Amino acid sequence: MNLSLSGRRAIVCGSTSGIGRACAQLLAERGASVVLAARDEEKLISTVNSLDGDGHSYICADFNEPDNLRLKTIEHINKTGAIHILMNNSGGPPGGPLIEANTGEFEIAFKRHLISSHILTQLVVSGMKEARYGRIINIVSTSVNQVIPGLGVSNTIRGAVSQWVKTLAIELGPYGITANNVLPGYIETDRLKNLLEKSAKDKNVTYDQMVTETEKKTALGRIGLPTEVASAVAFIASEAGGYISGTNFSVDGGRFGI
């Protein structure tokens, strides 16, 4: 089984913390040259310096500004070369009931999660076609399988991203390019911590009680780690994952219920 990513170039979005950072680190360990993409330059520099190997770089851009992201990515690819792996990942929309969401919330989330991902895909796909090797991997959410109460805007946008990826899988498959969604469940990230803190406050319970309640919603009885999501991403990105495409790949510890 070939899990090496030696000779491959990867863009990893949202790569300065949580799942994104764990993915960047593992892809680098497997031999890929990693291009980090995020908006905080200080954190980008710190993360680049933490990666194994060499040839790593970064794009400092805000995914709420797709046109700027496009220009910076074009400039970077022209300087450094074709991309073989694209991992789209960005912070989730704020929580709240769907019926109370204003249209601006949908526009921001759509721009961040779908428009920006689409722009990046368009920019890297020609190099993937030439190499006859491409991996488009989107970090989405288990809400694609079962909507999560209190995350109305996120549920809506994640569903759109999932269908976008499945369509790409059909269109790009003939060129040796796969497209997949990775669906993290309850993963130890700042976003989950913030959501659990809010839920604990709403339910008038302690944060630890909220964590315990959440753990009981998984078959494995625990919250997952960003490195466990990264392991799935690295497998899909490798030659060993070459026959996986158009899938919703859950990494959720057997999450059930709502």
> Between 155 and 8, where is the model more confident?
8
Could you give the domains of the chain? 9-187+228-249 (3.40.50.720), 189-223 (no CATH)
- Which residue from 178, 223, 157 is spatially nearest to 87, judged by alpha carbons? 178
Kindly report, residue by residue over 130-143, the tens digit of the pLDDT: 999 999 999 999 88
Query: Which residues, in sequence order, are CB contacts of 155 under 8 Å at separation 6+?
Result: 98, 143, 147, 148
Enter the tokens of residue 41: 């330059």
Q: Which residues pair with 218 in a beta bridge?
A: 255
In sequence order, what are the residues at sequence separation of 6 or more whose Cβ sits closer than 8 angstroms to the Cβ of residue 50?
A: 25
Give pLDDT, residue 258.
58
Reported as a single tens digit per residue, the pLDDT across 54-72 is: 999 999 999 999 999 999 9
User: What is the pTM assigned to this prediction?
Assistant: 0.93
Q: What is the sign, positive or negative, of the torsion defined by CA atoms of 121, 158, 156, 103?
A: negative
Give the C-alpha separation, 239 to 132, whole Å: 12
- CA dist 231 and 234 (Å) reads 5
Q: What is the pLDDT of residues 208-233, one digit of tens each?
A: 999 999 999 999 999 999 999 999 99
The Cα 87–Cα 181 span in angstroms is 10
